[in-house]
Amino acid sequence: MALPGVRRRMKRILTLTFLAAAIARTAQAQPPIDWKAVEAETLQHFQALVRIDTSNPPGNETRAVEYVKQVLDKEGIPYQVFAGDASRANLVTRIKGNGKKKPILVMGHTDVVTIDPKKWVDHGPFSADLAGGYIYGRGTVDDKDNLVASLMLVLMLKRSNAALDRDVIFLAESGEEGSPEVGAQYMIENHFDAIDAEYCLAEGGGAGRLAGKYTRANISTTEKEPRAVEIIARGPAGHGSVPRQSNVVAHLTRSVAKIVDWTPQLRINETTGSYFRKLAATASPQAAKRYRDVLSPDPKVSKPAADWMLENEPEHWSMLHTSLVPTILTAGYRYNVIPSEAKATLDVRLHPDEDQSKFLDQIRAVINDPSVEVRWARDRYRPAGASRLNTELFSAIEAETKKHYGVDVLPTMSTGASDKAQIRSKGVQCYGIGPALDYEDGAKGYGAHSDQERILEAELYRFVRFQYDVVMDVARAK
């Protein structure tokens, strides 16, 4: 049995030990973030970047990179600039961790799609006007929101001297809007070591609101591959006053009609299977049955559900099939001349499981016209790929979505394309996130690639905090 004096000394030693540990933990703890100050700074950088015209073409993304450089210089954060074209630079900066885990990459593209000035009536396309709780301007939802959120992330990590188990890399990339050869493709082919990571976060997801209420969050885990197809009819030219069976315009239009009526094979993958099962769990009984039916291996069950979606929910149909949409027709130069050539261009979005080596032969069989040529309009440039649903990062996205938005995550196959495809091609698990958007905005003419763009100011700030929390969940030193 210990003597009373010994017990007292042991108690004092234990007390001092616990106190010292508590002091050490306090010293290592991050200072609390002043989120009001973060919001003010977010708005400052966001408006500044939206006001920089980086319409692609021509891009001129180096203008935005110069702004980001100035911000990083003031904070003493080192960076690298990579450019195959001096006017279209990419910037990479890295907040170092202890190296226990591979890095996480966050991306935002600096270019935006072009605008029609006549459509921007109340707010200029590069005004970044703040009015009625919205910020207006091209790029506000595609993609200077992700760009600024990633910039704020590295600023907060640097200022807090956060202890990290993995590096956090920020890539401000150029050329996402149709010219990846100067952006993501250029980076993975020439400077992948600067952005090599286990995980990646980029555009392509986020919560949706209906009547101001969050309903669900779509997080892109895979996407369809864009690859245009050209259909070319050739035959003898002639005078328009004499009808000819060889008329190339007639052959082309019949070919296009056959393609429009064709339904490629319905395909289910890990992402779409999970998506429709989760959607069925929260839908009305009638809708839930359709979402379950479309997953059936029996075509007698799945086809009626898919046909209904084609008519009523075409975005869901497109998640299940390769889609072919005629977008450009070129034929003739005078009303009274039968041309010798007519061409249609199809916007083809290939399902990730589509066998591209056989796909053109399928189209040729559908057309069944030897006078019509079918060919790819360009080489592959955004390869299909998918990210797993059982990763640490996807779990963090699910948890933080529930915390910030109060809704569940639906893993989603994007019908559009993004530069996540290039990053995934190097084995990086890449997920699409973004600020919450109002479903009603599309019908009002606001949205990515729409006549106008706007973002809710409050949702921009919420997204900055959401992404910070997601990254800290997987990068914080443990």
Q: Write out the two tokens for 383.
A: 């390869």
- Strands (DSSP E) contained in 235-286 are 238-239
b/e 376-410 (16+ beta carbons within 10 angstroms → b): eeeeebbebbbbebebebbebbbebbeebbebebb
Do the beta carbons of residue 131 and residue 123 sit within 8 Å? yes
Taking CA atoms, 408 is separated from 317, 332, 395, 427, in Å, by 22, 53, 11, 26
Region at 174 (left for phi over 0; alpha for psi -120 to 50; beta for the rest): beta
Rg of the chain taking only CA atoms, in angstroms: 27
The tens-digit pLDDT sequence of the chain (478 residues) is 444 554 555 455 444 444 444 434 433 456 799 999 999 999 999 999 999 999 999 999 999 999 999 999 999 999 999 999 999 999 999 999 999 999 999 999 999 999 999 999 999 999 999 999 999 999 999 999 999 999 999 999 999 999 999 999 999 999 999 899 999 999 999 999 999 999 999 999 999 999 999 999 999 999 999 999 999 999 999 999 999 999 999 999 999 999 999 999 999 999 999 999 999 999 999 999 999 999 999 999 999 999 999 999 999 999 999 999 999 999 999 999 999 999 999 999 999 999 999 999 999 999 999 999 999 999 888 888 899 999 999 999 999 999 999 999 999 999 988 999 999 999 999 999 999 999 999 999 999 999 999 999 999 999 999 999 999 999 999 9
Taking CA atoms, 379 is separated from 347, 359, 371, 402, in Å, by 14, 14, 24, 41
pLDDT confidence of residue 60: 98
Say how many Å lie between the first and final Cα of the chain, rounded. Answer: 39
Choose among 173, 12, 164: nearest CA to 92: 173
Q: How many CA atoms lie within 13 A of 218 on its CB side?
A: 21
b/e 314-342 (16+ beta carbons within 10 angstroms → b): eebbbbbbbbbebeeeebbeeeeebbebb
pLDDT confidence of residue 21: 43
pLDDT confidence of residue 382: 85
Do the beta carbons of residue 414 and residue 435 sit within 8 Å? no
Beta partners for 244?
none
Cα separation, 433 vs 31, in Å, equals 27
Q: Are strands 429-432 and 199-202 parallel, antiparallel or unpaired?
A: parallel
Cα separation, 207 vs 331, in Å, equals 44
Structural domains present in the chain: 35-222+385-475 (3.40.630.10), 225-376 (3.30.70.360)
**The model's pTM:** 0.89
Do the beta carbons of residue 182 and residue 125 sit within 8 Å? no
Q: What is the DSSP string of 295-338?
A: T-S-HHHHHHHHHHHHHH-HHHHHHHS-EEEEEEEEE-SSTTEE
Question: CB-based contacts of 4: which residues, under 8 Å, 6+ apart?
Answer: none
DSSP 8-state assignment for residue 451: S
Choose among 133, 159, 143, 147: nearest CA to 77: 159
pLDDT confidence of residue 30: 66
Choose among 414, 410, 420: nearest CA to 350: 414
Tell me, letter by letter, the H, E, C secondary structure of 389-450: CCCHHHHHHHHHHHHHHCCCEEEEEECCCCCHHHHHCCCCEEEECCCCEEHHHCCCCECCCC
Q: Write out the two tokens for 83.
A: 């450019």
Q: Give the H or E element holding residue 231.
A: strand 229-234
